[in-house]
Structure 1
Amino acid sequence: MGISLHNVRKSFGPVGVIHDVSMEIPTGDFAVFVGPSGCGKSTLLRMIAGLEDTTSGTIFIEGRDVTNVEPAQREVAMVFQSYALYPHLTVFENMAFSLRLKKTAKSHINEMVHGAARILHLEDHLQKRPSELSGGQRQRVAIGRAIVRQPKVFLFDEPLSNLDAELRVQMRLELAKLHKQIGATMIYVTHDQVEAMTLADRIFVLKGGVVQQAGKPLELYDNPDNQFVGGFIGSPAMNFLPGRVLGRQEETLRVAVDGAGKELLAKVSANLSDGTSVRIGVRPEHLQPVTNGIPATVELEEDLGGVSYLHARLAGGQAIVVETRERRKSLDGQTIYLGASAEDVLVFAEDGRRLR
């Protein structure tokens, strides 16, 4: 097992920020911690790195208890949001810095630096200084500095946040390729769920210092455990509509959308009393035009070429987003009628729990 956390807690004085977190990350996995600002994902990463003390619980790396081990002895390498490069040193010197501190043989330093440079396409930049590089190249140097240390675990703390949109996409692809090439265990922190979905073997969704759900990206997308995960994973976000239970129809639950005068069917086996208040979740791509569906007035249409997003409002005032790939005339101001298949309608309790 690559990394194991058992009942880990972290408090700053009386304020708890990580609450009883346990997780298993297999050797060679690319794990992503994702969640809103202040959810504790960076603190958790820094605890694994040894940069923050653990209030209670244990942390294991490759079967070794490192809870109270110094950062330099944990065999991890961390890449930060800021590149933290030495401006007066060349790319080669920046990447070789930690090896020189260890008094590593020059021949080995050359071998390691040139090997990392080939992986990161930096061979032609080794004699340049950071000021001569683009943002993406600087971040690759920071990653190269980590690679030459040959750590057991790579830790990335929002490394792409300082890059523009195009470079972020490019660097996402390069990180995915890097993981395939070297096969090391990697943990990546981000608030961007698109990065999480595209990079991760396994995603850990955090909120308030608690892991809300962990699993493969599409597992979380298709089968969220609660309303928070359903709303956080996916772009545009899942639509949530207030509703109430009308009863059962064979293997499905009948739920009415408040203020819409219409009902939907959901594949839910839980026994719920008629009239129970619920939240109905439907992703934008699962809402389809039907003859006798829920009426919604289109307020804005976003055409992005291959896909369009209709921002509409129900009679009860609830805003929804509908994804469509059909080419058509503008629907601004028009009323459309929407439905969804029972398999695509999720139902949540008022406290956010998924009802199955």
Structure 2
Amino acid sequence: MGVRLTSVAKSFGSFRAIEDVSMEIPTGSFAVFVGPSGCGKSTLLRMIAGLEETSGGEIAIDGRDVTAVEPAEREVAMVFQNYALYPHLTVFENMAFSLRLARRPKDEVNARVGAAARILQLEEHLHKKPSQMSGGQRQRVAIGRAIVRQPKVFLFDEPLSNLDAELRVQMRLELTRLHRKLGATMIYVTHDQVEAMTLADHIFVMKNGHLQQAGPPLVLYDDPDNRFVAGFIGSPAMNFLPARVTARDGSRVFLSVEGSDHPFTTELAAAPPIGETVEIGIRPEHLAIGPAPGLPVTIDVAEELGDVSYLYARTANGQELVVQRQGSRERLDGTTVFLSADPKHVLVFNGEGRRLR
């Protein structure tokens, strides 16, 4: 049954950090809580771990209500951002610490630590102290310390934040392989949506203590429920343009953008009335460059990365856009081009930021 949260809330005095959050995390899944700093994702993780008390609602792990259960009895293991290793102990001793504290038999301790070391490729480092190891190796030791406890749920609180860019990519791959090997339920907190997209099979997007949307990564990418999710998920971020509904033809809607004589179009089951102001969202890879008609923009800067180019453009009224191009190496800096988009990739949001479909 994994982890289930029902109407969970958390207050710090008069401040509501978490507001009526409900979610279901299936057994064996890799779930990621993502959102900007202060959105409540780490508080939510700490409540699952039992390190923060709830102000309301229920938390269940594997079908058991653990809302009032002590952390040590919840069968969870947490990996923190700062490793939290004992510097005077060896890798083996760090990984074995919780088992020895629980007075587990020596043979069992050796077996569990040995198995975790093999999974994490730490067998040759068991005699070392943390100071003799790289940041990535130390993070693997911290993960190994969690593995030996054989928990029902692994909790990760931004574990890669202290690593450099190359190590973060490497550790993302290692975490994915680890999840496949163990088949355990893992819940991971990050503010980095690239980490969320690459690691998760289920993403929970948080903002100001509220759950905005939950689902598989590509569902959130292709079909966001609101402007916040649309803008947060994806790198480079989605482009947004103010527009006005100028005409309708059945479910087909014509959307006029200032500075362009050629409207964008899309299909909406419940179209807003003609004259209403909305906002359209188009991802950089869905903007096509071609001859007029289209939205005229001037290319300020072009970033050529070999296989892909990012063109930073500006409309006549100063609206900034990013266009992604595959394969082309044509230099367009300082030129004016015309942009268009396939109607199926034009998303529409109302004045409150809610997606119109």
Q: Give TM-score, length-normalised by structure 1.
A: 0.99
Structure 2 distance, partners of 1:313, 1:162, is 36
Partner of residue 152, structure 2: 152
Q: Please list the CA deviations of residues 300-327 of structure 1 after superposition, one character each: whole Å capped at 9, or x if unmatched.
A: 0011111100000011210000000133
Amino acid at match of 2:342: S
Partner of residue 225, structure 2: 225
Partner of residue 319, structure 1: 320
Q: How does 1:61-100 map onto structure 2 within 5 Å?
A: 61-100=61-100
Partner of residue 301, structure 1: 302
Structure 2 distance, partners of 1:302, 1:295, is 20
What's the CA shift for 1:328?
Answer: 2.7
Maintained 8 Å contact 1:260/1:316: no
Maintained 8 Å contact 1:95/1:148: yes
- Residue 347 (structure 1) aligned with residue 353 (structure 2): no
Maintained 8 Å contact 1:82/1:159: yes
Q: Please list the CA deviations of residues 192-224 of structure 1 after superposition, one character each: whole Å capped at 9, or x if unmatched.
A: 000000000100000000000000000000000
Amino acid at match of 1:314: T
Partner of residue 40, structure 1: 40
Partner of residue 2, structure 2: 2
Structure 1 distance, partners of 2:194, 2:147, is 25
Maintained 8 Å contact 1:80/1:159: yes
What's the CA shift for 1:20?
Answer: 0.1
Maintained 8 Å contact 2:29/2:184: yes
4+ residue stretches of structure 1 with deviation over 6 A? Answer: none
Partner of residue 329, structure 1: 330
Q: How does 1:152-191 map onto structure 2 within 5 Å?
A: 152-191=152-191
Structure 2 distance, partners of 1:111, 1:5, is 35
Q: Please list the CA deviations of residues 268-310 of structure 1 after superposition, one character each: whole Å capped at 9, or x if unmatched.
A: 1213111100000000000001321111000000111111000
Structure 1 distance, partners of 2:66, 2:179, is 24
Structure 2 distance, partners of 1:148, 1:311, is 49
Structure 2 distance, partners of 1:124, 1:345, is 53
Partner of residue 249, structure 1: 249
Of 287-296 and 58-67, deviating more is: 287-296
Count, aligned residues: 356
Structure 2 distance, partners of 1:264, 1:271, is 14
What's the CA shift for 1:257?
Answer: 1.0
- Residue 282 (structure 1) aligned with residue 282 (structure 2): yes
Q: Give TM-score, length-normalised by structure 2.
A: 0.99
Specify the SS of the correspondent of 1:231.
Answer: helix
What's the CA shift for 1:63?
Answer: 0.4
What's the CA shift for 1:329?
Answer: 3.0
Maintained 8 Å contact 2:278/2:349: yes
Specify the SS of the correspondent of 2:294.
Answer: strand
Structure 1 distance, partners of 2:327, 2:200, is 31
Unpaired runs of 5+ residues, structure 2, are none
RMSD (CA atoms)? 0.8
Specify the SS of the correspondent of 1:68.
Answer: coil
Specify the SS of the correspondent of 2:163.
Answer: coil
Maintained 8 Å contact 1:252/1:342: no
Q: What's the % identity of the aligned pairs?
A: 67
Amino acid at match of 1:326: G
Unpaired runs of 5+ residues, structure 1, are none
Structure 2 distance, partners of 1:140, 1:80, is 11
What's the CA shift for 1:250?
Answer: 4.0
Structure 2 distance, partners of 1:328, 1:176, is 34
Structure 2 distance, partners of 1:285, 1:262, is 20
Maintained 8 Å contact 2:299/2:335: yes
What's the CA shift for 1:249?
Answer: 2.9
Structure 2 distance, partners of 1:276, 1:173, is 46
Structure 2 distance, partners of 1:329, 1:283, is 21
